Each structure stands twice: as structure tokens, then as C-alpha cells.
Chains A and B, each alone.
Chain A
Amino acid sequence: MAGEEESSLETARKSRCYSDATASGLDQRDEFARDRDRILYCSAFHRLAGITQIVRAGELDIFHTRQQHTYKVAQIGRRLAEHRLSEQPEAAKLHGLHPEVVEAACLAHDLGHPPFGHAAETELDRLVCDPTTVDGIKEDAAPDGYEGNAQTFRILTKLAVRYSKDNPGLDLTRATLAATLKYPWLRDQSIDKKRSKWSAYASEEADFKWARAHCSGEFKTAEAELMDWADDIAYSVHDLEDFHRVGIIPWSEIISEDSRETIINGVVKSWKKDPSYPADGPRRMKAALERIIRKLVMFPTVTKEVYNGAREQRRQLRNFTSQLIGNYVRAVSLASDLGAAAVLIHDDAVDEVRLLKYFARYYVIGLPALHAQQYGQKKIIRDLFKIFLSEGKAGNLALFPARLRYIWEDNSDEKGARLAADCVASLTENEAYQLHHRLTGTESGLVLDPIVR
């Protein structure tokens, strides 16, 4: 802060675990811009181009990869922060809101996604909790399993390679690390909300506490809230766009009076699994569906034509999604004090995003071929995990691609299942397929091709 003394909050937010301000040398960027750039350049970010959420990377070349999704999240997150800074400067100052931090957190938010999306995430969680199912032993287990968000934090603080092994991870500022914590707690099987989602493993507990030292209670920072909302906006809108373009979304059914009750019941059924489900959920979903249908009226090529990529279809689709994103960006405000949720999001926007996510999920997840794909993908995850665990423990690292060996060499005091999961999770989907072929002997590949570089 030029011309005024920096507050203790700002000092805390800018601190790093391993290096201090003098390490910036002649760098013209501020601390948070450096964080953002470090994430953009790390190999874990590069890997995001090779993984997807539901449909496999590269299939039809129409679906967003995690990297394309991430760029959109980063753009929306930055705009959310800039809009709040302009509309609520005092509240933004209170929360220490900085657009670079939000953008950095957005760029980082999916780094821990394993290949093959949530199906693999669930499988890895099961394996890390109980590796005996693939011939491991109980002592190999890490009881806090596997979770994409926690893996992101592990990558940022431990696995990402940027400096020497005495200085692991990306050495990000406290503010940026805190902004990546969507679920700012460790796993706790006895508490509902901490059983299914958590943002750090016990193995990174010290880093987690350090990152959260300036935060209040178990509330996400304002920057983490904006990152989370940007993710929801981007995901709900572009998934819908992807599946619309391949013709999976039956718009005529969605907009017809006859189907409304079925759709509402479906969303409500899945929403009820959320501990925060409100009593007026069905009424809210009915209203959300009516608003979405109203918002579609001016874009008839979206609902009345089979998508073929014609110019007018693309134009109307872009106008429609642009209107949605604009609505959702303007639906947030910052809380005027600390000690509670830092960001308030209008219920109408939250409900619509929930509904849009449901459309994509419901109509895609029902595809029989997807189930068959996921069945096979989970087997690949299991087989690779088993091989990495048994060979890693045996010290047979020559079998490992060179890029993965440091995971075992640098973290020998950690549970075997955690390290095996690290190896699996650091692969792209193509790498997982090809490495699986090679290691199981179904297809050797070329001897000069290491597959994983």
C-alpha cells in the first residue's frame, strides 16, 4: 500500500511459508499476481487440458476440458471481485478482497481432479481408506481418503514442483492458499458436512492451519466464496452448452407443462441430500424453472431447433448464456461484517444454477454408454493404484514414469495409499489409459515413449 502503513491483515495475507518479500527481487508484479502466474505455469495446470468432468477428454472435441472450464472460472471470478470492489469498496477492504487472489484460486481450484472425474474420485477415496481391497495392508491406509479439493491443496503445498525439495509446492501466499479452501476443514466422519467434502488432508494439517490463521471460524474467505460461485456459474452454464450442442438436452420436454413436475421432483430429490435443504425447496425450484423458461423465450433456436452449429444458433446460444452469466455475476454481495458468511448470493440465482446443473447431470448420467465407460475407468484407477502401491512400497521405482518417482522419494514418511493416489491423480486421462495398457500388458506401446513426461 503506497503512502500508508500496511495493515496487519494485509501483512498476514501476503506472507509465504518459505520465502519473504525480499525474494521478489526486481519482480514488477505484486505478491498475488506472482501467485496467479505460478499456478498458471505449473505442470498440474497443464495437465487440466487432459481431463474432463463427465465425458472423456478429447471425445468429440466439443466438451470443455477442465482447463477450458478453469479459464472461464478464472474470468468470472476476477469479474466478480472487480464488480464487488467497485460496488462495495468498504466491504471489499474489510475482507481484504483482491482480484488477483480470486483469479489465482480459480486457476487452482480443479488441480486435484483425478483422471475420469467424480467416478474416479469416489473410487480413489475408497481405495485410500481401504487399500486391502487391492491387496494392500491396513497400515497403508490414510483414513481421510481422497477428495479433489484436498488434493488441490496438497498439490499447491507439497506436490507441485517449482523449487528444491526443501521448499515444496508453489510457496503461495497465505491469502491465495486460504482462497483455494472451499471446504475449510479436514475430514471428520462424525459430521455430515465434513464427511463428504473437505479441503485438506491430515498430512497437510500444518499448512492448512497456517493458511487459515487470519480467517474467522469455519467460514470461507470472501475470495474462496467468489471462487466457489464462479465455479458454479461456469460449470452450470457451459455444461448445459456442451450437452445442448450434442443434442442431449430435450428442451421441448423441459419447457413443456407436462414435464415440470417430474423435473422439479428430480431436483428436489437430489437437493434433499444437502443438509441445508429448505422446507420451501419445491416452491423455489418451481419458480426457478419458470424463470429459466422465461429467459429462454427470446432464443427460440435453442429450444426449437436441433443444434447443428449454424450461425444464428450460435449467436442465440451465446446471447442466452451471456445473459445468464450476467445475472449470476450481479447476484452477489459482500457481507458488511466479519464472523459470518463473507458473501451473500441471491437465492434465485443459486436455485437457477442448481437447476441448470441438474439438467446436464440428469440427461447425461442416464446415458447407458456413460455407465459402461465409468465402469471401465474405475477399473483402470483400481489397477493403476494397486500397481503404484505395491511397486512403490517395494522401492521398484524404475517401473514408474520418471515424472512420478519424486512422489515416493520425497515423501517416504507418508502412507503408501496416499502416495499411490498421488501418482494416479497426477495422470491425464490419455496417460492413464496408455499406462494401464502398458502395465497390464494389453498393449506395450513404443519403448521410446515414456507415456508420462
Chain B
Amino acid sequence: MADKDPQDTEILAAIGENGIDPQQLINTLLGAEYPMAAIIEALQRAIERGKISLASDGMVVAVNREFADAA
């Protein structure tokens, strides 16, 4: 079954290279007219799939960056 929007790729694009404040990420996705419930669902899904994570400063990051920092 296909994932409901927003997709992981869209979330990762919004995060970018340097990470993003979670509220700003949600606002960006709300701006693309996704309903709040769909955004929260997509964020949980992305966390569980190891696509995104919270860095130590609370910013949302693509997972590779977080582990690179930790190493």
C-alpha cells in the first residue's frame, strides 16, 4: 500500500543539509496544504524507518547526518 502524503522524499527535501526546527518543518508541510494529522503520521513513519531523527539540539535531521556527528 502506498504511503499517504507527504512522502519521505518531501520531508527530507524540507529538512535540507543542515536540519530544521520541527515546528518550522511542520509549518512548511502545512504550507503545502497537507492536513496536520497526515503530517504527524508521515513524521512518525519517517522516524520509524530511520529516515529522520532528532539531533541533540532538537533539530530534525536526516539520519546520516546525526550519526556522522556522533562519530
Contact = CB atoms under 8 A, between A and B. Distances in A.
Interface of A: 87, 290-292, 294-295, 297-298, 300, 315-316, 319, 323, 326-327, 330-331, 346, 348-349
B44 interface: yes
Contact of A319 (B47, B57, B60): B47
Interface residues of B, number: 20
A300 B39 CA distance: 11
Interface string B46-71: 01100001111111100000100011
A323 B60 CA distance: 11
Given A297-B23, A298-B40, A346 B47 contact: no
B48 A298 contact: no
Contacts of A346: 56
Contact of A327 (B21, B48, B54): B54
Given A298-B40, A300-B40, A319-B48, A291 B22 contact: no
A327 B63 CA distance: 12
B42 to A, nearest CB: 10
B53 A326 contact: yes
Given A297-B26, A330-B70, A291 B48 contact: no
Given A87-B71, A294-B21, A297-B22, A349 B56 contact: yes
Contacts of B15: none
A331 B23 CA distance: 24
Contacts of B71: 87
A300 B37 CA distance: 10
Nearest to A88: B71
Contacts of B48: 319
The listed residue with most B CB atoms (<10 A of its CB), out of A323, A331, A346, is A323
Nearest to A301: B40
B58 A291 contact: yes
Main secondary structure of the interface of A (DSSP, over half): helix
Given A294-B21, A294-B22, A297-B23, A330 B44 contact: no
13 contacts: A87-B70, A290-B58, A294-B57, A294-B58, A295-B22, A295-B58, A297-B22, A298-B43, A298-B47, A319-B48, A323-B47, A323-B53, A323-B54
4 smallest beta-carbon distances between A and B, as pairs: A294-B58, A330-B70, A297-B22, A291-B58
A161 to B, nearest CB: 43
A185 B70 CA distance: 33
B47 to A, nearest CB: 5
B56 A348 contact: yes
Nearest to A292: B58
Nearest to B23: A297
Nearest to A348: B56
Contacts of A326: 53
Given A300-B40, A319-B47, A323-B47, A295 B70 contact: no
A346 to B, nearest CB: 7
Contacts of A290: 58
Contacts of A294: 21-23, 57-59
A315 B44 contact: yes
Nearest to A346: B56
A331 B21 CA distance: 20
A176 B4 CA distance: 51
Contact of B54 (A87, A295, A316, A348): A295
